[in-house]
C-alpha cells in the first residue's frame, strides 16, 4: 500500500482547508457558480440530478481495511449509506451536500485519500490490473509502476490543464484485466530480447462518441524511461491536441488524425530532445515503492484439504469457487472476486455495512488488501485456501457471494439517467432486468462467459463499445431507447462492437438479450464463448432473431 | 404550461419555484401559462446566486388529472432514482407522486438543452 510522507499529508490537509474557504465564499455569494464550478470540479465534486456527487480517487483500485472502513463511514455519515464503484475504480457518493464536502475531504485526508484529479482536464486516477501482486501470469507488479505514475502525475504543473481529461491504465500480465487498449495511454509490460523489462506503449484508445482501440506507438520501452516517455507523449498532446472543439479534444483524435506512425515519430523526437533533462525513475525510489507492495506470504501447502472438502460437500460453494476464486502465484493462496452484481441490485453499489464487512475480511484474511476492478467488483487478492470457506460464509451472509464473475449477470452499468446530468437514458434498470432473467445460477453457468456493458449516454462510462453485448441508451424525442452492439471486447483480444440494428425501446432490451443468448446456444461449437460464436457467425443470425417481429 | 426548476446550492436538492420561494415537491410548483411571466421568474431566479444553481424552465403536461413534467429526465429529477425507490421525493408517496410515476409522453425539455450547452 502506498504511503504519504509528511509533505503529502500536509498538502492534502491544506487542500481540504482551501476548499472549505472557497465553499464558504460560494455560500456567502462572494463568488459566482461560474467561478466556483472549476474549483469544485478540481476536488471531484459534481452537481448531478438529485444532489452533489463526490468522486473519490482510488489509485489503481488499491484499498486496505482502514481506507475502506473510512469510505463506509463517510457513506453512512454524509450520504445514504451506500457508494457506487465505477469503471475507473473510483468510488462515487451520489447524495452529498455542498456544505459537507470540505469535511469529507478532511476525513479522506486522514486515511491518505482525496478527490483530486477525478474530474477536469488532467491526468486522472491511474488504473491497473486488479490481480497485481497476486497472479502468476504477471511479469512484475504493475502497482510499482502505477504508483510512480501516480506520484508523477498528481498535480503535475505542466499537465494540469490539458485539452481534455487523460486516462492511463497499466498491466503486466498477458491477460488484460485493465482494458489497456481503450485508454489514452495503455501500458502493457513486456520482456525484451535480453530478458529485461519494458512496456508496450499504446496511445489514443478511448470510447465515447468516437471509439478507438489504442494503436501501439512503441513495442518496447525500457522501464527506466517510463516517466520521460510519458512526458514526451503528454507534451505532444498538450501542444497539438485540439482545444477548439470538445468533441475532438481527446488524444485519440490527435493520434487518429496524424496517424499512429507520425504521432509516434513526434513523440520520439520530443523524447530525444528532453529525456536527458528529465528526472526519470531513480532505482532507490523504485525500491522504496516496491517495498510497499511486498506482502509477507506464509509458506503453505499448495493443496488445502479444507478447500477441497468444502467444494466436495457444498455444491453452492463449489460453484462460487469455480467462478469467483482464481489461482494465486503463491502456493496455498487464492484470489477472491467479490461480486457486486447480485441480480436485481445495482451493479457496483455497496452499502456501508458491506464495505465494513469486506474491510474486516481484508484485514483478517487477505493481508489487509482490497482491490477495485473496472468491472465494478471488488477483489480480496491474498486469501489462504484454508480460509476460503470462512470467507465465503461471511460474504454470503452479506449478499456478496453471487457466483457470477464474467457471466451474463456480471453486468457493467454506469449510473445513467437515474443520477447523471449528462445521461440520455437509464442504464441500471436495464441491467437489473437482464440480470433478473438470468438469475438462475445454473442457467447463467450454462451460458458461460458473456460480458454485457451498458452506458446511459454516448460518453460510454459503461464501456458499451467493448461489451460482448453492448447497450447504449439514447434519447429519441425524450423517450429511452437502446442501441445494441455485438462482438466488442476490452481485453487482450480487444474489439469494438458492431451495431445490431435499430435501437430498441426499454422493454424490448432484456427479451432481445434472451433471444441472442438462444441464438448463441443453438450456434455455438466446442465450448465457444458468446464472443467466439459471434465472430464466427457474424451479426446475421442475432439480427434475425431480435428483429424477426419487424419483418 | 411551464414550471421553473433548479438545484439548491447548499445541498443540490431538486427544487421548484413557487411565487418567489423554492419548494421541494413538484406538486407545489407554480405553473406558468404565460411565457412572459415564466421568463420573468426565471430571470429573478438566476439573480438568486446564493440560493439555487442553474434554474431553467421545463414543460409540463397533464397526467392522471394532475400535472407532471413532460420530459422523462425531469420526472426522474422530481421523483428520485428508479433503482432506489426509498430515495428521493418518491419515498414520500402521495397522489402527486403517483401521477408523476404514471405520466407518459415525453420530449426533451428545452431547459436541458441549455444546461448541456453550459456544461
pLDDT tens readout for residues A18-77: 999 999 999 999 999 999 999 999 999 999 999 999 999 999 999 999 999 999 999 999
Strand order, beta sheet including B21-23: B21-23, B14-18, B2-8, B52-63, B66-69
Residue B72 to residue A51, Cβ atoms within 8 A: no
Q: Is B73 in the A-facing interface, judged by CB distances under 8 Å?
A: yes
- Distance in angstroms between the alpha carbons of the first and the last residue of chain A: 58
| A539 confidence band (pLDDT: 50, 70, 90) | very high
Mean pLDDT of A391-414: 98
Residues of A in contact with B108 (CB under 8 A): 475, 477-478
Task: Encode burial over B51-89: b for 16+ CB neighbours within 10 A, e otherwise.
Answer: bbbbbbbbbbeebeebbbbbbbbbbbbbbbbbbbeebbb
B35 min Cα distance to partner chain A (Å) = 22
Chain B CA closest to residue A344: B83
Mean pLDDT of B90-111: 77
Question: Quick one: CA dihedral A202, A207, A213, A215, positive or negative?
Answer: negative
pLDDT tens readout for residues A444-464: 999 999 999 999 999 999 999
DSSP per residue, A58-101: -GGGEE-HHHHHHHHHHHHHHSSSEEEE-TTS-EEEEEE-GGGH
**Is the pLDDT at B118 greater than 60, yes or no?**
no
Residue A27 to residue B10, Cβ atoms within 8 A: yes
Q: Is A273 in the B-facing interface, judged by CB distances under 8 Å?
A: no
Mean pLDDT of A393-422: 97
The ipTM value here is 0.92
With pLDDT > 70 as the criterion, what percentage of chain A qualifies? 100
The tally of domains found in chain B comes to 1
Give me the domain span that covers residue B109. Answer: 2-117
The strand pair at A91-96 and A82-85 is best described as: antiparallel
B9 min Cα distance to partner chain A (Å) = 7
Residues of A in contact with B77 (CB under 8 A): 49-50
Q: Is B44 in the A-facing interface, judged by CB distances under 8 Å?
A: no
* Nearest residue to A2 via CA among A12, A54, A224: A12
| B110 confidence band (pLDDT: 50, 70, 90) | very low
Distance of CA A378 to the CA centre of its chain: 11
Residue A513 phi, psi dihedral angles, 5° rounding: -60, -45
| A551 confidence band (pLDDT: 50, 70, 90) | low
Residue A47 to residue B7, Cβ atoms within 8 A: yes
Q: Is B24 in the A-facing interface, judged by CB distances under 8 Å?
A: no
Distance of CA A29 to the CA centre of its chain: 38
Considering only CB atoms, B81 lies closest to which of A418, A422, A478, namely A418
Q: Is A246 in the B-facing interface, judged by CB distances under 8 Å?
A: no
Instruction: Report the predicted TM-score, pTM, of the whole model to 2 decimal places.
Output: 0.96
Output the pLDDT for position B104: 74
Beta strands in A141-183 (DSSP E): 168-171
Output the pLDDT for position B117: 39
Output the pLDDT for position B116: 42
CA pair distance B44, B41, nearest whole angstrom: 5
| Cα separations in angstroms, A297 against A57, A70, A332, B90 | 28, 26, 10, 51
A360 min Cα distance to partner chain B (Å) = 27
Q: Is A98 in the B-facing interface, judged by CB distances under 8 Å?
A: yes
B74 min Cα distance to partner chain A (Å) = 9
CB A45, CB B53: distance < 8 Å: no
Domains of chain A: 6-110 (3.90.480.20), 142-291 (3.30.413.10), 305-398 (3.90.480.20), 413-547 (3.30.413.10)
- Is residue A301 packed enough to be buried (19+ CB in 10 Å), middle (13-18) or exposed (0-12)? exposed
Residues of A in contact with B7 (CB under 8 A): 47, 51
Residue A333 phi, psi dihedral angles, 5° rounding: -110, 165
CA pair distance A66, A111, nearest whole angstrom: 7
Residue B9 to residue A429, Cβ atoms within 8 A: no
Mean pLDDT of B90-115: 72
Q: Is B54 in the A-facing interface, judged by CB distances under 8 Å?
A: yes
| Residue of B10, B45, B70, B83 to mutate, testing the A interface (most A Cβ within 10 Å of its Cβ) | B83
Mean pLDDT of A118-147: 97
How many alpha carbons fall within 13 Å on the CB side of residue A518?
11
Mean pLDDT of B102-117: 53
Mean pLDDT of A181-190: 98
Mean pLDDT of A385-391: 98
B13 min Cα distance to partner chain A (Å) = 5
Q: Is B90 in the A-facing interface, judged by CB distances under 8 Å?
A: no
Output the pLDDT for position B106: 54
CA pair distance A200, A393, nearest whole angstrom: 41
Amino acid at each position: 500500500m502506498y504511503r504519504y510522507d509528511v509533505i503529502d499529508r500536509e498538502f492534502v490537509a491544506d487542500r481540504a482547508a482551501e476548499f472549505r474557504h472557497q465553499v464558504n465564499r460560494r455560500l456567502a455569494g462572494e463568488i459566482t457558480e461560474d467561478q466556483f464550478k472549476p474549483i469544485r470540479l478540481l476536488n471531484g465534486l459534481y452537481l448531478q440530478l438529485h444532489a452533489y456527487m463526490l468522486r473519490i480517487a482510488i489509485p489503481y483500485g488499491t484499498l486496505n481495511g482502514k481506507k475502506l472502513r473510512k469510505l463506509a463511514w463517510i457513506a453512512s455519515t454524509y450520504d445514504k449509506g451506500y457508494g457506487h464503484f465505477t469503471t475507473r475504480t473510483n468510488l462515487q457518493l451520489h447524495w452529498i451536500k455542498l456544505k459537507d464536502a470540505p469535511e469529507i475531504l478532511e476525513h479522506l485526508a486522514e486515511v491518505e485519500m482525496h478527490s483530486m484529479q477525478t474530474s477536469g482536464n488532467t491526468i486522472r486516477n491511474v488504473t491497473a490490473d486488479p490481480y497485481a501482486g497476486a497472479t502468476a501470469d504477471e511479469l512484475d507488479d504493475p502497482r510499482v509502476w502505477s504508483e510512480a505514475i501516480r506520484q508523477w502525475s498528481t498535480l503535475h504543473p505542466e499537465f494540469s490543464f490539458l485539452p481534455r481529461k487523460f486516462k492511463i491504465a497499466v498491466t503486466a500480465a498477458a491477460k488484460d484485466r485493465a482494458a489497456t487498449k481503450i485508454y489514452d495511454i495503455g501500458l502493457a509490460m513486456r520482456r525484451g530480447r535480453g530478458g529485461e523489462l519494458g512496456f508496450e506503449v499504446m496511445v489514443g484508445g478511448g470510447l465515447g462518441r468516437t471509439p478507438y482501440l489504442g494503436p501501439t506507438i512503441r513495442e518496447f520501452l525500457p522501464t527506466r524511461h517510463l516517466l520521460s516517455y510519458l512526458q514526451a507523449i503528454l507534451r505532444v498532446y498538450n501542444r497539438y491536441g485540439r482545444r477548439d472543439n470538445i468533441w475532438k479534444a481527446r488524444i485519440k483524435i490527435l493520434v487518429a488524425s496524424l496517424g499512429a506512425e507520425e504521432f509516434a515519430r513526434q513523440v520520439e523526437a520530443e523524447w530525444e530532445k528532453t529525456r536527458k533533462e528529465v528526472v526519470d525513475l531513480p532505482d532507490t525510489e523504485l525500491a522504496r515503492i516496491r517495498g510497499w507492495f511486498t506482502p509477507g506470504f506464509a509458506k503453505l501447502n499448495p493443496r488445502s484439504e479444507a478447500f477441497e472438502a468444502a467444494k466436495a460437500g457444498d455444491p453452492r460453494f463449489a460453484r462460487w469457487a469455480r467462478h469467483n476464486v482464481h489461482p494465486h502465484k503463491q502456493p496455498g493462496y487464492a484470489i477472491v472476486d467479490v461480486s457486486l452484481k447480485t441480480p436485481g441490485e445495482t451493479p457496483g453499489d455497496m452499502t456501508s455495512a458491506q464495505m465494513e464487512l469486506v474491510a474486516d475480511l481484508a484485514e483478517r484474511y487477505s493481508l489487509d488488501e482490497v482491490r477495485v476492478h473496472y468491472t465494478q467488483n471488488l477483489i480480496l487478492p491474498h486469501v489462504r485456501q484454508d480460509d476460503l470457506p470462512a470467507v465465503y460464509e461471511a460474504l454470503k451472509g452479506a449478499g456478496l457471494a453471487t457466483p457470477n464473475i464474467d457471466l451474463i449477470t456480471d453486468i457493467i452499468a454506469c449510473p445513467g439517467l437515474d443520477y447523471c446530468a449528462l445521461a440520455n437514458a437509464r442504464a441500471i434498470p436495464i441491467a437489473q432486468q437482464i440480470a433478473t432473467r438470468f438469475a438462475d445460477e445454473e442457467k447463467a453457468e450454462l451460458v458461460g462467459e458473456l460480458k454485457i456493458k451498458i452506458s446511459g449516454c454516448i460518453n460510454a462510462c459503461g464501456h458499451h463499445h467493448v461489451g460482448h453485448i453492448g447497450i447504449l441508451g439514447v434519447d429519441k424525442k425524450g423517450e429511452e431507447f437502446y442501441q445494441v452492439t455485438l462482438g466488442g471486447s476490452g481485453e487482450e483480444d480487444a474489439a469494438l462492437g458492431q451495431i445490431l440494428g435499430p435501437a430498441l425501446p426499454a422493454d424490448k432490451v432484456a427479451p432481445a438479450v434472451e433471444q441472442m443468448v438462444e441464438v448463441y446456444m443453438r450456434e455455438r461449437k466446442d465450448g465457444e464463448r458468446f464472443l467466439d460464436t459471434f465472430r464466427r457467425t457474424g451479426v446475421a443470425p442475432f439480427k434475425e432473431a431480435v428483429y424477426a417481429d419487424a419483418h | 404550461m411551464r414550471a421553473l426548476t433548479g438545484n439548491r446550492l447548499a445541498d443540490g436538492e431538486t427544487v421548484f419555484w413557487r411565487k418567489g420561494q423554492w419548494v421541494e415537491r413538484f406538486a407545489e410548483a407554480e405553473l406558468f401559462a404565460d411565457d412572459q411571466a415564466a421568463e420573468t421568474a426565471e430571470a429573478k431566479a438566476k439573480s438568486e446566486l446564493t440560493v439555487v444553481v442553474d434554474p431553467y424552465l421545463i414543460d409540463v403536461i397533464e397526467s392522471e388529472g394532475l400535472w407532471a413534467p413532460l420530459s422523462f429526465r425531469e420526472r426522474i429529477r422530481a421523483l428520485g432514482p428508479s433503482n432506489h425507490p426509498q430515495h428521493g421525493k418518491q419515498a414520500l408517496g402521495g397522489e402527486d407522486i403517483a401521477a408523476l410515476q404514471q405520466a407518459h409522453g415525453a420530449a426533451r425539455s428545452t431547459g436541458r438543452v441549455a444546461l448541456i450547452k453550459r456544461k
